[in-house]
A and B are shown apart, each in its own frame.
Chain A
Amino acid sequence: AQSVAQPEDQVNVAEGNPLTVKCTYSVSGNPYLFWYVQYPNRGLQFLLKYITGDNLVKGSYGFEAEFNKSQTSFHLKKPSALVSDSALYFCAVRDPSGYSTLTFGKGTMLLVSP
């Protein structure tokens, strides 16, 4: 079975500081990994994905994520946070070795203060 853990319910960071939102996963094969963002009263929006290749993946709005196979992690990062980045962030995983849909983590609320 595949699973995702987002260990932090909330991350607080000041505007201009770097941010990290943590995600660890568990799959039996090589994972397909995704990050989505949800703004209030909106659906989830795709940020970035890792399928294969370079461990550092760049996505929308200046976000990037680093795939670390040995630590089974896929942390979301941004060098300089903006107040407008405040939202709910979801990590998701899929094990492509078998048929399965995306499994989402519980989400991490990111609050960026001015």
Chain B
Amino acid sequence: DSGVTQTPKHLITATGQRVTLRCSPRSGDLSVYWYQQSLDQGLQFLIQYYNGEERAKGNILERFSAQQFPDLHSELNLSSLELGDSALYFCASSVTGDGNYGYTFGSGTRLTVV
């Protein structure tokens, strides 16, 4: 157990729907990162939050949004889902906002859009 908790582990939904993925960072970590992993794109950085504020943005679609709450857990919202959004979504956390000491990853949420 890495200390980073992601729920749900699996999610199957239909095209056009909206889902929310949840992440609780490791205790003491202030920064949360979201990544999408697919066979063709590899591991793509989506967005980072640090202590409640957006810190960096990567290849995140406009249909996707995220936030970090005062208790430091984070949610990734995916809307108007398409078949191509099927992927593994990972959350990672780090103590510092720069991640110089590396990230701790959760075990991921596997999203299947049908």
Contact = CB atoms under 8 A, between A and B. Distances in A.
11 contacts: A44-B103, A46-B102, A49-B101, A51-B100, A94-B98, A96-B100, A102-B103, A104-B35, A104-B42, A104-B45, A106-B43
B108 interface: yes
A80 interface: no
Contacts of A51: 100
Interface of A: 32, 34, 36, 41-46, 49, 51, 90, 94, 96, 99-107
Which residue, B42, B58, B106, has most C-beta atoms of chain A within 10 A? B42
Contact of B106 (A43, A46, A94): A43
A52 B43 CA distance: 26
Contacts of A43: 2, 4, 90, 92, 105-108
B102 A49 contact: yes
Interface of B: 2, 4, 33, 35, 42-43, 45, 48, 55-56, 58, 90, 92, 98-108
A101 B108 contact: no
A36 B105 CA distance: 10
A78 to B, nearest CB: 19
Given A42-B107, A43-B106, A100-B56, 15 more contacts: A36-B105, A43-B2, A43-B4, A43-B105, A43-B108, A44-B92, A45-B105, A46-B104, A94-B98, A96-B100, A99-B98, A102-B45, A102-B102, A104-B35, A104-B43
A43 B105 CA distance: 6
A94 B43 CA distance: 15
Nearest to B104: A46
A44 B102 CA distance: 11
B33 A101 contact: yes
Contact of B99 (A36, A45, A94, A107): A94
